[in-house]
Structure 1
């Protein structure tokens, strides 16, 4: 089976030391990306760790396909103990970082410890340097990128960075790359902030060799380049009006199911503001959305559908330029647009201020700096909803994505049992329910499909393949690319989900945490079906006998 290559690089920000560990047997068993990082996290993060403590670790990992030039592979994975959910979380981002990371020769970066000074870490193929950067305290993400470019001739495609939100330990702070691409969900920006790591740069000229079959690679690239589907033109916003008209676009902090101004913030509105094409590294699909409003000068990348929902319909805001402003603000400050937008919407609900885009932007800035009311809001909805007097629309502490489980019942089941909470990318039953392949109503009988989707997505984040490439990087092509049967690939995904769950079990997570803030049909019976399909107990616990040791490759001695 194809797998990533290269050692694990451990960087202790407090001690300012580094260590390389050969993890070839781990990579062979886990392929790369999310699966490798999850296996390492499970072995090396103490089960009782404080998410903001020096014992927590942040993993940045690549998959084997990042050593190729195939379309849909310009992405990387990040994994760590989430300050938002208190469990393991993995998230991935696109852009141009992956090839620069691979060129350093490493497969995984592990950051641990806690620096006394605000720190930049420079990783190259010849070593690691530490740089105190007190002048970057409070700097935005673009300001940090500009500093690295001016002082080290390394542009944003070489960097991961946090903004003020990460420094101030906002629980949904993002790690950013290329200024506008986010390792978004779960608050890993705050994990780097707790370690006083402002940014990490990557530069090298050691590209590990990769044998990849040329026919699938070139076919995928050609098909991506020739595609003329709406996704390329409008990103995920292309389905906004369809979802609003036929299913549900959550509106005014979940009070409504339909937004009257959906067309004004949907795909056509975004496409009208798109002024050029944008892509990720080596990708011919070019689905990114560089947008500009000539009248106001607002310029950003996006917004995608989740931001249109979180800072649009959920806040009662029907102006695409206001949503663009919010999108750019979150990217600049380093925050997940979903959690930030839902949290702001909760505040607007508490004050009867729906539609007040100026207040929404003011609150967003205050969250990033923890100024005034921004301080409790920076904790997220699960921790501030009582103070606001609103419903807690989260699962495991994570704010809901747009795809409404009150209407898409299979997706609701997915939110309930997902190890990282109400995240639509953990398993995409939503696409099957939107398309009619699954009846949106009811949950019984959907558990087996849910398990298959979770396993698929876990492997996709392991490879690493962009979610938008599913129609091009088919199951058959995955088998060819990774030189393995599809069932063997899915076993890697299943094991990843299992390790995440076992880690969370050790932190006290069980069936009581697999719940929703609303009722959908037969949820408890369907959760039991899901546990049965996974081989877990009725309490949602992974049996110890189901786990296999990964062996000495994760030993911190480096032996």
Structure 2
């Protein structure tokens, strides 16, 4: 089976020691990306670790396809114990970082410990250097890029950076790369901030040898990306805003409504009008990114994508695209997940009866990043702030909801409930089956198996690492097999192990099935959750049976 090559580089920023070791066994079993990082996190982070503590570990990892020249592979993975969800969480980001990372010769870089001084950590194929950067305290992401470029000739594509939000421990802080691409969900930027690392850079020309898929297979994927006339190439994910709105699955005014009267003003056509050039990720011909600019105000950003349009648009009651662009740009500069940030701002607007107040939104976003005033409470996220705000807790396992409302597409609701990552739409993407008409969106009965297959496929996809927008278009079942030289069922089994390791880690931290719940009712949810456990081979309380992970993980 195709898998990543390269060493594990462990960087202890406390004593500034470096250790390099082979992890060939782990790579051959878990391929790379999310899979190998989850395996390492499960085995090496103490089950009782504090997410903000020095014993937590932050992993950057790639898969084997980051050494190809194939479209949909310009991404990499980041994993840690999440301060938002209290479990192992992974996020992946696009841009141009992954190929620079591969050039260092490592397949995984692990940060542990905590530095007394704010650091930039430079990883190359010649070694690791530590640079004390106290002058970058509270610097924005673009400001860090400018300094690293001036001092070292490093570009945004070499950097993984946190903004002020990460330094101040905002529970949904991002790690940013290429200035506008985010390792978005789960608060991984806060973990990096707790280690007092402002940025980590990657550069080198020592990519390990990987026996890549055939040129025919790679060319076929690349050709389909280049010739596709899919609307996403013009409008990104915002192309579906009005469709989702029409199907009553666009949460509005902090989830009090399910459609927004100004959806057309902030949808795909409106975003396309602001788009001023094409943009992509590394070697990808699909080019679905959205550099946008408003000529009248001068506001410029990349995006907003669908989830940001929902979180800072409909859910905040804001129907002016330029104001959403401004929120998007603020979150990128300050280093925050736009989904969680927009949701917690919407909760605050609800508590203050201020829906539609864009000026207040932008003020609150900045306060959250620096934990100033009411921003200190909101930086904790919806699950920890809702009581004091006097609003409902629209989150699962501490993670705020994505746009696709489970009250309208019930299989997606089921997937939110059981996901180890909480209310994240990318964990199972059952929404695609329901929006596409393959599955009746009403009810959850009989959908547990579909949720499981999607979870397993996506866990493997994130180990490859392959972009979601390639999967289901240019990269489907048979092509998965060709790319990785393995049977599709075997690839799904790897995904199942990843999901099980995540669940086992949560269980060891005291979390069980009582957290597999939603803040609203949908048909047959309880029986469908029971079926999910049964099909997974888990206990009735949603825990992984004792010894179940012993074959492929350190279990205790």
Give the count of matched residue pairs: 553
Distance (Å, rounded) in 2 between the aligned partners of 1:550 and 1:15: 31
Aligned position for 1:40: 40
Aligned position for 1:293: 294
Q: Where has structure 1 moved over 6 Å in runs of 4 or more?
A: none
- Where 2:91 maps in the other structure, the secondary structure is strand
- Where 2:200 maps in the other structure, the secondary structure is strand
- Aligned counterpart for 2:480 among listed residues 478, 481, 499: 478
Deviation, structure 1 residue 328: 0.4
**Does 2:49 align with 1:54?**
no
Distance (Å, rounded) in 1 between the aligned partners of 2:11 and 2:518: 39
Give 1:514-529 correspondences, 5 Å limit: 514-529=516-531
**Comparing 54-63 and 539-548, the one that deviates more:** 539-548
- Alpha-carbon displacement from aligned partner over 1:283-311 (angstroms, at most 9, x marks no partner): 00000000000000000000000000000
RMSD: 1.0
Distance (Å, rounded) in 2 between the aligned partners of 1:383 and 1:335: 17
Distance (Å, rounded) in 2 between the aligned partners of 1:205 and 1:321: 41
Aligned position for 2:492: 490
- Alpha-carbon displacement from aligned partner over 1:366-418 (angstroms, at most 9, x marks no partner): 00000101000000011111111000000000000000011111000000000
Deviation, structure 1 residue 475: 1.2
- Alpha-carbon displacement from aligned partner over 1:208-248 (angstroms, at most 9, x marks no partner): 22222111100111110111111111011000001101232
Aligned position for 1:510: 512
Distance (Å, rounded) in 2 between the aligned partners of 1:221 and 1:248: 33
Deviation, structure 1 residue 550: 4.2
- Alpha-carbon displacement from aligned partner over 1:426-477 (angstroms, at most 9, x marks no partner): 0011011111111111011000111000000000000000000011011111
Q: Which runs of 5+ in 2 are unaligned?
A: none
- Where 1:107 maps in the other structure, the secondary structure is strand
Deviation, structure 1 residue 546: 1.7
Deviation, structure 1 residue 548: 3.0
Deviation, structure 1 residue 207: 1.7
- Alpha-carbon displacement from aligned partner over 1:491-523 (angstroms, at most 9, x marks no partner): 110000000000000001111010011111111
Deviation, structure 1 residue 545: 2.8
Aligned position for 1:539: 541
**Does 2:225 align with 1:224?**
yes
**Does 2:128 align with 1:128?**
yes
CA separation of 1:551 and 1:92: change in aligned 2, threshold 3 A: closer
Aligned position for 1:388: 389
Distance (Å, rounded) in 2 between the aligned partners of 1:222 and 1:430: 27
- Where 1:467 maps in the other structure, the secondary structure is coil
Aligned position for 1:246: 247
- Alpha-carbon displacement from aligned partner over 1:159-212 (angstroms, at most 9, x marks no partner): 000000000000000000000000000000000000000000011011222222
Aligned position for 2:407: 406
Distance (Å, rounded) in 1 between the aligned partners of 2:531 and 2:233: 38
Deviation, structure 1 residue 478: 1.1
- Alpha-carbon displacement from aligned partner over 1:342-386 (angstroms, at most 9, x marks no partner): 000000000100000110000000000001010000000111111
Deviation, structure 1 residue 549: 4.1
Deviation, structure 1 residue 40: 0.2
Distance (Å, rounded) in 1 between the aligned partners of 2:276 and 2:173: 29
Aligned position for 1:215: 216
- Where 2:469 maps in the other structure, the secondary structure is helix
TM-score with structure 2 setting the length:
0.99
Q: Is the 8 A contact 1:68 1:210 kept in 2?
A: no
Aligned position for 2:14: 14
Q: Is the 8 A contact 2:43 2:553 kept in 1?
A: no
Give 1:434-449 correspondences, 5 Å limit: 434-449=435-450
Aligned position for 1:557: none
**Comparing 536-545 and 316-325, the one that deviates more:** 536-545
Q: Is the 8 A contact 2:39 2:553 kept in 1?
A: no
**Comparing 480-489 and 159-168, the one that deviates more:** 480-489
Q: Is the 8 A contact 1:75 1:464 kept in 2?
A: yes
Deviation, structure 1 residue 109: 0.5
Distance (Å, rounded) in 2 between the aligned partners of 1:107 and 1:275: 36
Aligned position for 1:264: 265
Aligned position for 2:74: 74
Distance (Å, rounded) in 1 between the aligned partners of 2:205 and 2:324: 40
Distance (Å, rounded) in 2 between the aligned partners of 1:415 and 1:67: 33
Deviation, structure 1 residue 547: 1.1
CA separation of 1:551 and 1:249: change in aligned 2, threshold 3 A: closer
Aligned position for 1:397: 398
Aligned position for 2:94: 94
Aligned position for 2:140: 140
Q: Is the 8 A contact 1:394 1:400 kept in 2?
A: yes
Q: Is the 8 A contact 2:91 2:185 kept in 1?
A: yes
Distance (Å, rounded) in 2 between the aligned partners of 1:307 and 1:64: 31
Distance (Å, rounded) in 2 between the aligned partners of 1:46 and 1:240: 42
**Does 2:185 align with 1:179?**
no
Give 1:365-376 correspondences, 5 Å limit: 365-376=366-377
